Amino acid sequence: QSVLTQPPSASGTPGQRVTISCSGSSSNIGVNYVYWYQQLPGTAPKLLIYRNNQRPSGVPDRFSGSKSGTSASLAISGLRSEDEADYYCAAWDDSLSGWVFGGGTKVTVL
């Protein structure tokens, strides 16, 4: 059971907008930044969003993040086939003094 809660799956057709939610608590998302990682099949996780809504260099602006209270979300607009991957949210947890992750959301492009 992951500390952060994500839906196990999400899907959309090419060009659509998909949103993934991430729910936490007052010891993690409520007081710290949220991060999103993309994991393509058979590869290591890749940082997609940092500090709630910032994109590292090279990440398309189709990806956007937001946070409100103890929840966060990742939106993928203009969905493309290459976006098929697992997406994980993460935050530092002050009570555990460590990183906590969501269980991951598998995005399928129909």
Partner 1 sequence: EVQLVQSGAEVKKPGESLKISCKGSGYSFTTYWIGWVRQMPGKGLEWMGIIYPGDSDTRYSPSFQGQVTISADKSISTAYLQWGSLKASDTAMYYCARTYCSGGSCYSGYYQHWGQGTLVTVSS
State the number of binding residues for partner 1 (CB under 8 A): 23
Tell me if 57 contacts partner 1 by CB under 8 A: no
- C-alpha to C-alpha distance for 28 and 80, rounded to whole angstroms: 31
Burial of 110 (C-beta count, 10 Å sphere; 0-12/13-18/19+): exposed
Burial of 8 (C-beta count, 10 Å sphere; 0-12/13-18/19+): exposed
Write down the least CB distance from residue 13 to partner 1, Å.
26
Beta-ladder partners of 71: 23, 68
> Judged by CB under 8 A, which stretch of 14-22, 29-37, 62-70, 71-79 contacts partner 1?
29-37
Q: Which is nearer to partner 1, 1 or 68 (CB)?
A: 1
- C-alpha to C-alpha distance for 61 and 30, rounded to whole angstroms: 25
> Judged by CB under 8 A, which stretch of 17-25, 42-50, 59-67, 74-82 contacts partner 1?
42-50
The three-state secondary structure class of 83 is helix
Tell me if 53 contacts partner 1 by CB under 8 A: no
Tell me if 40 contacts partner 1 by CB under 8 A: no
**What residue ranges bind partner 1 (CB under 8 A)?**
2, 32-33, 35, 37, 44-47, 50, 56, 88, 90, 92, 96-104
